[in-house]
A and B are shown apart, each in its own frame.
Chain A
Amino acid sequence: MEPLTKNTPLESFINHKNETGMQCGNYSIDLPELKEGEQYRFHFDATACVGCHCCEVACNEQNGNPDDIKWRRVGEMEAGQFPDTLQLFNSMSCNHCIDPECLKGCPTNAYIKLENGIVFHDDPNCIGCQYCTWNCPYEVPTFNADRGIVTKCHMCVDKLEAGQTPACVQACPSNAINIEVVNVDKWLNEDMAKEGVAPHLPDIEITKPTTRYTLPELPEGAEFKPADEHILKPAHPEWPLVFMTVLTQTSVGAFLALFLGQLLYSLGFNLPKPNATMAFMALLPAAIGLPLSALHLGRPAKAMWAMRNYKTSWLSREAIALGAFAGIAGLVWLLYLLDFNGFFKLLVEAIGVGIGIYGIYAQSMIYRIKARPAWNRESTTKRFFGSGYVGFLLISLALLASSGANGAVVLLSVTLLAGALQHLIINDEVNFYKYLSKENPLYYQLNRTKTLLDERFKKVKTARVHSLRLFGVALPLLAIVFAASGQSGLALFVVTIATIGAFASEIMGRFLFYSTVVPLGLAGNFFAGNQR
């Protein structure tokens, strides 16, 4: 036998088969050719895993990732009483789902479901919007700030194609991770419900994951406690998005008010004629807000790529619709400046309203995702539209400033109505968490959101609720009283305060919206949490 010192060619490793027939340890892998309707998938054997973290380290070493970017993580759970305690580990990277939410939501089409079933992230096409990191119920995609893009597990596809073993599979000393071939239809129809599930994992129906689990016998009714239960950190506040959403919603609200004013005026109601200042007020928030949103991207210069996937991504639809809305709002302002009147302006405004409403709807649908239970509620859409009352306040302000109390009562009444509606919506939301039921299948995540709201952000939450009452309801009412009694100066003063206050209130509310969401995902580690 020739000493390995003299040469250690790859050939010798590829030919190396240990007697066990195990995939682990081997640098080469034999996989059958994929037939029609088949794909590759991971098998994870929880009865073999001892939670040694080899797979995590091997993955990072293979892919040159920094310590905090982990494509593979090992979750830890525990159930039962001593000595019948059951510790359960779950080593997970990507589940290479059949119905991947990351892919559907990606606005730039940066995700590709390869023919072999691997969900591949095409790095150059990514703009770092991180929408996939929200959409994946397993929190698989990770944002690499150093690169300004999201990256994720690709099952070492380049290695697989060359007959080489993926790093995690190779490194596992327990042979707990394997690559298998799965028939997609059979999996969906027969096996997934039994073998695709593991404790503390999201509903398989969300993305139809392909990972097969071998689990130890789980005691009936065993409650698995994730090792990171005690770690509850707020989600990223997403400041650019806080401002962008509130500002665009304000804009659409204001534009609606402008349109209604124009409509009623055109219909011959005895109301003041809308003017260029009002049109500018309707444009301004969106004009500030939309570019702001690019700041949350890893690659802001590539923001326009976000419009590419209008077929399946609400993010693309929002970008297109709100982009168009801002354009129309600009055109309308121009028409007012040129004092262009007539049906065409009304038509343009009507189209603007339609597109704006659709834009806000699309915007809200971005958050109606199963991976984030606190967002995936009707109230999200309602709240997003509800914030439009700030726009009404803005137009009221412009009206009071330009025309005095004349006709302002009508607009202020509508404004009050809008503010009261938002108050109702938020009140409902407060009550939802107050009476949160343990029977709710998403209780774990929703209750953590509740804890964040009631403990960590108690002051902000209190301020939000009270400020809405004050600035959204009480002050508009007071303004009506002043306007109706001809005190236009006082009315203007009150509306100015209300507008600023209401805007601040909505910003607080939106901050809470982003910060207190608790995503679905893998159980974490005692110290490191779920490492997302």
Chain B
Amino acid sequence: MKFIKKIKNFLDKDIKEDEYALVDDPIFGKVSKAKAPDKWVRTTCGYCGVGCGMYVGVKDGKGVYSKGDPKHPVNQGTLCPKGLSEHKMVTAPSRAKGALIRKDGVLKQAKWDEAFSTVAKKFKEISAKHGSKAISVISTGQLLTEEFYTLGKFVQLGLRTNNYDGNTTLCMASAVMGYKQTFGSDGPVGCYEDFEKADVIMLIGANIADNHPILKLHLMKNKKNKKIIVVDPRKCKTAQMADTFLPIKPRSDLALINGLCYIILEQGWEDEKFINERTSGFKEFKKHILANYKPQDVAEITGIDVKTLYSVARDYAMAESAMSAWTMGVNQSALGTDTVSAINNLALITGNLGKEGGSPMSITGQCNAMGTREFGFTSSIPGYRDYKNDAHREEFANIVGVDVDLVPTERGYAYPQIIDAIDRGEIKALWVVATNPLVSYPDQNRLRSALKKLDILVVQDAFLSDTAQIADVVFGAATWSEKEGCYTNSERRCNWAKQAVEPYEDTMSDFNIIKEFSKHFEGVHDMLYKNIQTPRDAFEEMGRVSKGRLCDYSGMSYELMEELGGIQWPCNEQYPKGKKRLYTEEMPCPTSDGKAKLLPLDWKPLSENVCESFPLILNTGRTVEQFHTRTKTGTIGILNALAPEAWIEMNELDAQKLQVKSGDRISISGNRGRVDNVVVKVANTVREGNIFVPFHFNEQLINAITLPEFDEKSFEPNYKQCAVQLHSQKVPNGIVLKQAEIMGEIAYQREEKDVENLATEETTIKS
């Protein structure tokens, strides 16, 4: 019978008209009939830091549709390809199905209680033997803020270890420290509306086309005769939008910004009134810049000619309003913090702070990197409080009702220091929450050998990530759409993310995991979570904790967030609907004198530059189809097919030297490792001598090569520049370094035409 049926179906196939038909949905109009939702749940996207409002369509308890909320001010109905397919990753077969414990070398499904007591027992043993600080926690920017708050309290006050940091150190830490240096506190000052209102938009190390495509919407809305300046060593998709593209040499951005400041100060284009009223440190700053960043020198360092430097400086300084936006090109650098402050300097001397279209603006990579900055209890005490400030500690202890002595007096180890301490044998236990160091951390070989020294590795994740697969215990967590709370986006907008479906299989929300786990530590649950039964309770406590602070949540409620399409903190009695921009005229900076600091900052050359063995500079980054380490997007067929593996992007001149063409396979080596069998993409989007490789992929693990050099202030890794060599089949020894170039750099001479150009520039400006 089956055979006959098969034959019949072969000869006269069912064309499945019904399955492929459209049907009228009362909310969204025509939708696919096969997955017409029973209900739509309004929520927020859980991928990147743009923070798009969206609706999840739910059919029979399963997410079937993701649609952009047309009323949400961030995305106005649009979503990026990841957001549009977000419901699909929730039921991916690579999800962890609940608690897992490694038995006889294999991870086996376990009862939650057993998993919790196993880990609690081990943690207590380690704590008794080596001290509580031998336990460390590395979390993420992916949880909901309520979960960060709950987790932070548990780690710092319950487990009593301050060796707690987030993967946000790998992405936003430099922005945090840069803001702190300049403005006295963390907190992005601008908003997306600035893209729409600015006359000049400078994108520095921010490939928004690949990483934050929805921001393009705000650029498109800008109907002014705007000028877009893109600063990037790569002619990336974003650089295609540029009116002026500045193809700087790798990591010369700090010199570039200082150079622009030089020209502005030299020409007297600065905003004197603003500088006098709103900034401090101008004198030293000016002296430092004028002494060290002459245009000729900057041209040499950056590879941007003097004439272009003058024209960009003029565009920026003369604009009614100018905005600088940056992401990882700036942050992921050993000079990240200072580069952020340098961008702030440029904004300050041109008066671009707290006004429409005028701001320095960091764009966040994760949906809730901001949440952990505000309430995560990692680099600061919740509510942007300082460990070193006793009043802050006291204040916090009083609000949450714990003994002030429990609140640490200093920040513990940052992410890279934790890895070092594990390697030294000082830290014995690591609890990783919703991050995947086995793909994302630099210098993988060293990381992996360090992790082997742990007594216990616990991984809390929604997916069986590469790191989860080597864990001793896995806490399989619920993910986006399965839990409730809020996310803060790049522009300080807190968005409510609602639960649409039940947690997958036997998973639990991170909020519940932490609370349940805390019950295995005597007295901890009662001390920390007596009044916190639901995320909403945590949210209310966060409101009290942040009241009067810069990141003030006290005026917010979930309902108000929903009504307004998110709220930009501070939200309190003074700003009941939040505030678009920080440090407007009436709002002083949280520094001692209320003024923003102009800081003298120095560019330094790469610590690992090209050499004979490694004549190429490797740059790493993202592609629009994938997110982070692909635990989510790797499961979505339509996205993964467009970028299923890493590639090496190289200039055709380098390809000629290596005798390779697109599609060939090649090896890449550096001081710390080697990756074989990576596909070549010949593209003149990179300059000769530079190559680009996306970092998402665990098979072609480019972080086996990247440099474990960290910013001294933010501890952020210098992911984007290290020296490498390529080995093709025909040229196995790779590229031979051209010596002449180096000679040229030493013997730079100002040419007559440069001087002339300068002169013309000046006359044009004066007239």
Contacts and interface: CB of A to CB of B under 8 A. Distances in A.
B13 interface: yes
Contacts of A51: 209, 237, 624
A16 B71 contact: yes
B562 A3 contact: yes
Given A53-B625, A526-B662, A123 B79 contact: no
B27 A10 contact: yes
Nearest to B643: A527
B30 A159 contact: yes
13 contacts: A8-B42, A10-B25, A13-B27, A16-B71, A20-B221, A24-B78, A51-B237, A54-B78, A82-B651, A123-B17, A158-B30, A173-B216, A299-B15
Contacts of B14: 147-148
Interface in A48-84: 48, 50-54, 56-58, 60-65, 67-68, 70, 78, 80-83
Interface string B218-253: 001100000000000001011011000101000000
Contact of A62 (B32, B240, B624): B32
A173 B84 contact: no
B13 A25 contact: no
A26 interface: yes
Nearest to B645: A527
Contacts of B687: 82-83
A54 B688 contact: no
Contacts, number: 225
B81 A53 contact: yes
B637 interface: yes
Contact of B81 (A52, A148, A528): A52
B559 interface: yes
Interface stretch (B312-320, B342-350, B433-441, B678-686): B678-686
A1 interface: yes
Interface string A517-532: 0000000011110000
B101 to A, nearest CB: 35
B15 A147 contact: yes
Nearest to B41: A5
Interface of A: 1, 3-5, 8-10, 12-13, 16, 18-20, 22, 24-27, 48, 50-54, 56-58, 60-65, 67-68, 70, 78, 80-83, 85-87, 123-124, 126, 128, 146-149, 151, 156, 158-159, 162, 164, 170-175, 216, 229-231, 298-302, 525-528
Contact of A82 (B30, B217, B681, B688): B688
B38 to A, nearest CB: 14
Given A25-B76, A146-B16, 20 more contacts: A12-B71, A18-B76, A20-B220, A52-B213, A57-B84, A64-B34, A70-B638, A78-B685, A81-B684, A87-B237, A87-B240, A124-B15, A151-B20, A156-B30, A173-B213, A173-B216, A300-B11, A527-B641, A527-B642, A527-B645
Contacts of A151: 20
B80 interface: yes
B124 to A, nearest CB: 44
Contacts of A20: 76, 220-221
The 7 closest A-B pairs by CB, nearest first: A148-B13, A25-B77, A230-B663, A64-B32, A50-B209, A67-B637, A83-B247
B647 interface: yes
A128 B10 CA distance: 12
Contacts of A22: 220-221
A87 B40 CA distance: 38
A146 B34 CA distance: 15
Nearest to B34: A64
Interface in B534-570: 559, 562-563
Contact of B684 (A19, A78, A156, A158): A78
Contacts of A526: 647, 662, 681
Given A58-B84, A298-B13, A64 B20 contact: yes
A78 B683 contact: yes
B562 A27 contact: no
Contacts of B220: 20, 22, 24, 48, 173-175
A148 B11 CA distance: 10
A158 B81 contact: no
Among A20, A24, A82, A147, the most chain B Cβ lie within 10 Å of the Cβ of A82
B638 A4 contact: no
B29 A27 contact: yes
Nearest to A174: B216
A24 B77 contact: yes
B237 to A, nearest CB: 5
A25 B217 contact: yes
Nearest to A302: B12
A519 to B, nearest CB: 20
Nearest to B688: A82
Contact of B240 (A56, A86, A158, A159): A86
Interface in B65-85: 65-66, 68-71, 75-81, 84-85
A18 B70 contact: yes
Nearest to B637: A67
Given A27-B77, A78-B683, A5 B42 contact: yes
A288 B300 CA distance: 77
B74 to A, nearest CB: 11
Interface residues of B, number: 80
A87 B240 CA distance: 7
Interface of B: 10-17, 19-20, 22, 25-35, 40, 42, 55, 65-66, 68-71, 75-81, 84-85, 209-210, 213-214, 216-217, 220-221, 235, 237-238, 240-241, 245, 247, 559, 562-563, 624-625, 637-639, 641-645, 647, 651, 661-663, 681, 683-688
B33 A64 contact: yes
Contacts of A52: 80-81, 209-210, 213, 216, 624
A25 B70 contact: yes
Contact of B639 (A50, A57, A126, A216): A57
A27 B69 CA distance: 10
Contacts of B11: 299-301
A82 B85 contact: no
B29 A159 contact: yes
A527 B644 contact: yes
A86 B65 CA distance: 35
Contacts of B688: 82
B685 A87 contact: yes
A347 to B, nearest CB: 37
A25 B563 CA distance: 19
A27 B54 CA distance: 13
B204 to A, nearest CB: 16
Given A52-B213, A147-B20, A123 B29 contact: no
Contacts of A299: 11-13, 15
A77 to B, nearest CB: 11
A85 B681 contact: no
B462 to A, nearest CB: 21
A530 B238 CA distance: 23
Given A5-B42, A50-B216, A25 B71 contact: no
A230 B679 CA distance: 11
Contacts of A173: 75, 78, 80, 213-214, 216-217, 220
Contacts of A300: 10-12
A13 B25 CA distance: 13
Contacts of B238: 50
A492 to B, nearest CB: 41
B29 A149 contact: no
A156 B76 CA distance: 21
Given A10-B29, A87-B240, A173-B80, A82 B235 contact: yes
Given A16-B70, A26-B77, A53-B81, A231 B684 contact: no
A299 B14 CA distance: 9
Nearest to B21: A64
B684 A174 contact: no
B20 A63 contact: yes
Nearest to A3: B563
Contacts of B42: 4-5, 8
Contact of A13 (B10, B28, B216): B28
